[in-house]
Amino acid sequence: MHRNALKYLEKWLLESDRKPLIIRGARQVGKTWLVRAFAEKQSLKMIEINFERDPHLVSLFQTNDPKSIWQNLEAYFGTTIDLDSSLVFLDEIQEAPELLEKLRWFYEELPALPIIAAGSLLEFMLQKYEYHMPVGRLTYLHLEPLCFEEFLEALGHAELLRYIQTVVLPFDIPLAIHQKLQEIFGHYMFVGGMPAVVAHWSIHRSLEKVIRMQHDLLTTYRDDFFKYRGRIDVDKLDVILRAVPQQLSRKFSYVEADGSIQATTGRQILSLFNKARLCHSVYNTQSNGIPLNATIKEKFFKEIFLDVGLAGRLLGITMPFLKTIAEGGMAEQVVGQGLRTLFPFYQNPSLYYWQRDKAGSQAEVDYLIEHPPYVVPIEVKAGMTGRLRSLHLFMTEKNLPWAIRINDDKPSIMTVTPSNGAPFSYKLLSLPFYLMGQIHRLLECVKL
């Protein structure tokens, strides 16, 4: 299947000042597949080392001399590694994180040899080693589960993909196309974006098999928990993991997850999940301008899960969402997951929301994004209608020109005048869920 990250890798390969690249992402999001597909597409001879499977191959990297390492690789694999047509792939590098330091020497002394490293649980494993990441000598690719547009292409809907990537303002999407896209998005909500699950669904369309594969993935993640036995109560890990989809769309509470979990333990566990990229924090920000992270409140946050399909599995959902995007929690999950894919691949995605807790005037906006020079709020509605009181308060207070609503309805643009007496109005861009990936392009169309 096609991954958008392939285009990023193609650009990386052609850079005159190319640096060794590290792919970061949760287990099973397709890191290894991506590199193999890239090497095949570019007709590169790939030297692949999996340090989880073959830990003894670390010995090939004992020296800090890149040319000696190059010779070691040629000797061990019995092949000539041509600098112009080869690729060295260091997979599961979290099992040998000390090798990351050595990559700086390749950048400085042997930059012609393309090197990609990938690993799961990398951030957590790095804490066990005392060394300095070679700042300025590495570059990164942050890989997420498939977005909806990749899902469309994987299912063979190339024409629909082209349609949503070229739709322009003012909107005029025929009802039949809107309903078809909504139906496919309902399938995406159920299947999710984990590559192996999507690949199977694209061929067999078996709900039972999808459910079984999702269970297997969750079991794989739980098996990882046992690596932390002795430092953290494994049972508490499972409790917190299940609590994330249960508490979607509201401030995360350790007490609600399990009254016996102390806040310190809960924070430690959730930090582990975020480092493993099973979950992602959505931080409360005052949103006084760009950058949004300048005014975050770290103690106030929501959580979303890695993948909407896996979140649905933990919640026991057994059928696709064919008519509506279901309840607000899952709607916020899939939008947050989609917003993460809008970031450049080199940037670690970060999510924000706004909340005001004044007595008698509480308000919350689900997501905020940066579209320079403005902050743009995003309100998520599970159905076709819903009140926008919190959005009105936010827009009046921040005096911003545009806001976005994501819901089940056909797209539209309208001028909104809040009914709070303020002499103020703003433009509301209302988008169906299947147009999430086009947010920045459509905002450019309206010339903020």
Residue pLDDT, tens place only, 147-174: 999 999 999 999 999 999 999 988 889 9
What per-residue confidence (pLDDT) applies to 360?
Answer: 66
Residue that is last in its domain, among 108, 142, 176: 142
CA distance 279 to 26: 9
Same-domain pairing of 192 and 334: yes
Total domains in the chain come to 2
**Confidence label for 386 from pLDDT (cuts 50, 70 and 90):** low
- pLDDT value, residue 357: 74
* 213 shares its domain with 134: no
Q: Verify that 125 and 214 share a domain, yes or no.
A: no
Same domain, 397 and 426: yes
> Are 277 and 416 in the same domain?
yes
Mean pLDDT of 44-54: 97
pLDDT at 96 over 70: yes
Residues in Cβ contact with 446 at an 8 Å cutoff, skipping those fewer than 6 apart: 169, 402, 413, 427, 429
**Rounded-to-integer distance, Cα 363 and Cα 341, Å:** 27
pLDDT at residue number 291:
96
**272-315: pLDDT as tens digits:** 899 889 999 999 999 999 999 999 988 899 999 999 999 999 99
195: pLDDT confidence band, cut at 50, 70 and 90?
A: very high
How far apart are alpha carbons 97 and 100 in whole angstroms? 6
Which of 13-27, 140-154, 216-230, 349-363 is predicted least confidently?
Answer: 216-230
CA 149/CA 284 separation, integer angstroms:
28
User: Which of 119, 142, 165 represents a domain boundary (last residue)?
Assistant: 142
Within this chain, do residues 188 and 121 fall inside the same structural domain, yes or no?
no
Domain boundary among 117, 142, 167: 142
SS3 386: coil
CA distance linking residue 99 with residue 175, whole number of Å: 55
φ/ψ (deg, to 5) at 217: -65, -45
- Looking up residue 114, the CATH number of its domain turns out to be 3.40.50.300
Bridge partners, residue 330, by sequence:
none
**Alpha-carbon gap, residue 289 to 248, rounded angstroms:** 26
pLDDT higher than threshold 80 for residue 133: no
| 131 has pLDDT over 60 | no
To which H or E segment does residue 10 belong? helix 5-14
Same domain, 203 and 89: no
Strand segments (E) across 62-200: 86-91, 115-119, 139-142
Residues 137 and 164 in one domain: no
Averaged pLDDT of the chain: 91
Question: What's the domain range around 127?
Answer: 5-142
Same domain, yes or no, for 324 and 340?
Answer: yes
Q: What is the pLDDT of residue 101?
A: 87
- Using CA atoms of 306, 121, 101, 344 in order, give the dihedral in degrees to the nearest 10: 0
- 268 pLDDT band, cuts 50/70/90, is confident
pLDDT band at 132 (very low <50, low <70, confident <90, very high): low
Q: What is the model's pLDDT at position 265? A: 86
Residue 173's pLDDT is what?
95
CA distances from 322 to 143, 156, 385 (A): 28, 19, 17
Q: Where are the beta strands (DSSP E) in 317-411?
A: 351-358, 361-371, 374-380, 402-407
Q: Please indicate whether residue 316 or residue 226 has the higher confidence score (pLDDT).
A: 316
* Statement to judge: residues 392 and 441 lie in one domain: yes
Residue 259 pLDDT exceeds 70: yes
* Residue 410 DSSP one-character state: P
Looking at the fold, whether 129 and 194 belong to one and the same domain comes out as no
**CA dist 39 to 43, 110, 147, 338, 369, Å?**
6, 19, 22, 27, 34
Token pair of 384 as six digits: 């076709």
Find out whether 6 and 41 touch, Cβ atoms under 8 Å.
yes
- Lowest mean pLDDT segment, chosen from 18-27, 310-319, 383-392: 383-392
Query: What are the strands, taking DSSP E only, across 179-326?
Result: 279-285, 296-305
Residues 411, 369 share a domain: yes
pLDDT of residue 145: 98
With contact defined as beta carbons under 8 Å apart, do 242 and 315 qualify? no
Residue 421 binned pLDDT confidence (cut-offs 50, 70, 90): low
